[in-house]
Structure 1
Amino acid sequence: MTVIKGTYIEVDPAVELFIQEAGDGDPIVFIPGFTFTTEVFQEQLRHFSKTHRTIVVDPRSHGKSTMTLHGNDYVTHGTDLAKVLEALDVRNATLVGWSFGCLTVWEYIRQFGTDHIKSLVLVDMPPKSLSLQQDQDWVEGPLDDLAGAYNAYLRNPQGQREFISAYAKGVMVQRELTEEELNWIVEQSMQTPYYIAANLFASGLFSDYREEAKLASESVPTLTIVAEHWAETATSYLQKLAPKTAVQVLGGHFMFWEHSQRFNELVEEFLST
């Protein structure tokens, strides 16, 4: 039976991050995406803790971590990650970022390099969200659509619920969700207040980590797992930007939840090479 330990780490005065940890061995650290929590990685926590020291992080203003008006951007999140790894005495870890969690990983690399990273798994996130060449580059979506989402949805709690609900049904999961599943997904996001979600959304969309993505792929073994709906564009883009990155294709944006067994197999295969 997996014994999961929950703890809090102070990363700034009066700002604590909630951490879950289980298992022994080489460390693997999971960082969730925009407004999501440690709960989304429970299948990975159970699976990988059989062979690895497995750590899952609630970023600041996510889940059980402190809700704060300060530092709700991915520059701060990268610094927070470094403080967590130092506090837990984690060295030579595999970092697994999902969605905007990849931005946290790349920001960590921008600030601290790759010396203490063993390998990277980057789940379904372009290193630059917006581009004027959106017909050629791998981007989050058309600029007007993303601006519309920001202005229409992230202005109040109802809008945030509607945004995450539509995203869950249209992009995250390929099958039809039950009402209970959809409510659970929305509840994970709603632990982050809408006004903080808006800050994170803007910070993520205006980030540019192309140099870090290229550097990382040349410095440490890197696996990128992309969703099927943009696999051709993403694969072509990564072959040009970071050709040493291994690329796998699986499911929708939430593939590690919907297709957890296959996702875990892909990561295991990557770690064993």
Structure 2
Amino acid sequence: MNTKESYIEVEPGIELFVQETGSGDPLVFIPGFTFTTEVFSEQVRHFSKTHRTIVIDPRSHGRSTMTVHGNDYVTHGTDLQKVLKELNVENPTLFGWSFGCLTVWEYIRQFGTDEIKSLVMIDMPPKSLSINQEEDWIEGPLDDLAAAYTNFLRHPKGQREFISAYATGVMVQRELKKEELTWMVEQSLKTPYYVAANLFSSGLFSDYRKEAAQSSASVPTLFVVAEHWGKTATAYLNKMTPSASVKTLGGHLMFWEHSEKFNRLVEEFLKEAP
């Protein structure tokens, strides 16, 4: 299977790294906070047999240009539109993982859903913070998130510790091998800590409830959420996005740890989507 790698200029001096494999209906994958195209390797391997499979490093992630400006999800949504236009991608299924969902919802806020075939949103609430913590699906208690921002995302050592703790505690359900944890941390550290801090705050203060509701009513939408908050997330999404399908699987990185199960869920969804 031939893989094409390219760099797409989204503004002067800023290029996004894009990898394309296979042909057919397009699937576009956007990684989460400080992660890269590499996390979707099993999806690329599987779906490129039947689809044009595109993975993107957002700005300041992976092999894309590191920059001190535009590290917010409003800009990331605009960047996504420019990449899709440059690649002549028509009627894609967009996959957002974690904060990558914010990129997708921001794209929808700016450009609508007319040119989207379907959506797969992986383990991200449309609004991260809420004072109604008993009922809403949120990222976590405000004090915990504030501590992560102030204590960890202020220097490289803190970023390493933050990602290490998150990887072992939230991302997967089994014990990671040493080389697996090293790989995850190295993924994240490609984004400088001061950029990571900007992305973290931009993500936490986002509110895409309107876009989540409207897009799920307009195009076929699948939410895949982690088991550790599956009950809360499912109830929340069933109320906000009643037309969407909601499935629970694994931890935050379930598409990597449980790739075969995840890929089957997506295959079934794609078959049902008109």
**TM-score normalized with structure 2 length:** 0.99
RMSD (Å) for aligned C-alpha atoms: 0.4
Which residue is equivalent to 1:103?
102
| Alpha-carbon distance between aligned partners in 1 of 2:227 and 2:173, rounded to the nearest angstrom | 10
User: What is the identity, as a one-letter code, of the residue corresponding to 2:43?
Assistant: Q
Q: Secondary structure at the match of 2:66?
A: coil
| Alpha-carbon distance between aligned partners in 1 of 2:239 and 2:262, rounded to the nearest angstrom | 25
| Alpha-carbon distance between aligned partners in 1 of 2:157 and 2:115, rounded to the nearest angstrom | 42
Residue segments in structure 2 that go unaligned for 5+ positions in a row: none
Which residue is equivalent to 2:224?
225
Which residue is equivalent to 2:74?
75
| Alpha-carbon distance between aligned partners in 1 of 2:246 and 2:2, rounded to the nearest angstrom | 32
| Alpha-carbon distance between aligned partners in 2 of 1:20 and 1:174, rounded to the nearest angstrom | 29
| Alpha-carbon distance between aligned partners in 1 of 2:38 and 2:2, rounded to the nearest angstrom | 15
Q: Secondary structure at the match of 1:117?
A: coil
**What are the Cα deviations for residues 34-78 of structure 1, in whole angstroms up to 9, with x where unaligned?**
000000001111111100000000000000000001100000000
Q: Secondary structure at the match of 2:117?
A: strand
Which residue is equivalent to 1:25?
24
* Identity, % of aligned positions: 74
Residue segments in structure 1 that go unaligned for 5+ positions in a row: none
| Alpha-carbon distance between aligned partners in 2 of 1:185 and 1:263, rounded to the nearest angstrom | 20
User: What is the identity, as a one-letter code, of the residue corresponding to 1:20?
Assistant: Q
| Alpha-carbon distance between aligned partners in 2 of 1:39 and 1:5, rounded to the nearest angstrom | 15
| Alpha-carbon distance between aligned partners in 1 of 2:138 and 2:33, rounded to the nearest angstrom | 16
| Alpha-carbon distance between aligned partners in 1 of 2:28 and 2:3, rounded to the nearest angstrom | 14
Instruction: Please tell me whether residue 253 in structure 1 is matched to residue 259 in structure 2.
Output: no
1:135 deviates by 1.4
Instruction: Please tell me whether residue 214 in structure 1 is matched to residue 213 in structure 2.
Output: yes
1:266 deviates by 0.4
1:239 deviates by 1.0
| Alpha-carbon distance between aligned partners in 2 of 1:87 and 1:125, rounded to the nearest angstrom | 27
1:265 deviates by 0.6
1:118-197 aligned at under 5 Å gives the runs 118-197=117-196
**TM-score normalized with structure 1 length:** 0.99
Q: Secondary structure at the match of 2:138?
A: coil
Aligned residues: 272
**What are the Cα deviations for residues 149-205 of structure 1, in whole angstroms up to 9, with x where unaligned?**
000000000000000000000000000001100000000000000000000000000
1:25-64 aligned at under 5 Å gives the runs 25-64=24-63
User: What is the identity, as a one-letter code, of the residue corresponding to 1:215?
Assistant: Q
